[in-house]
Amino acid sequence: MLVSLKQRKHDDGFTLVELLVVIAILGILAGIAVFSVSGVGDKGQSSACKTEKTVLGTAQEAYFASPTAGNGQYAANAGVLVPIFLNTAPTWYTTTGTGTAYTIGLTAAGTTAGCS
């Protein structure tokens, strides 16, 4: 019994200084991780804008090439493209077609989202 009490006295654990050093190191690592991933959201938004614009142009070209839908004419607006060539209407861009030409422009939501 006396031997086990003496062994417990030598098993002190971590000191306060050791714990503070570990906490400081973890804080520094967490700070580095936060700053390294802070710009990821901006790049994702930019990629989403570019993708929506590209998909809208591809849908217009598919409509133009379709013998049953466009038959050599571009869609008058994005709503015409939705049931067949697009799953949902675009939110950041709009398109207008005038026979053999089309344009893609920004909506108010696209301007707010930072699309160009």
Residues 114 and 45 sit within 8 Å (Cβ to Cβ): yes
- Cα separation, 105 vs 86, whole angstroms: 17
Backbone angles phi, psi at 39, to 5 degrees: -90, 5
Q: pLDDT tens, 21-46?
A: 999 999 999 988 888 777 666 678 88
What are residue 94's DSSP bridge partners? 105
Show me where the domains of the chain are located.
55-113
- Quick one: pLDDT at residue 1? 56
* Matching residue, tokens 């006295």: 9
Angle CA 57–46–95, to nearest 5? 25
pLDDT at 85 over 60: yes
Q: pLDDT tens, 59-84?
A: 999 999 998 888 889 999 999 898 88
pLDDT: which is higher, 23 or 10: 23
- Cα separation, 84 vs 73, whole angstroms: 16
Q: What is the pTM of this model?
A: 0.65
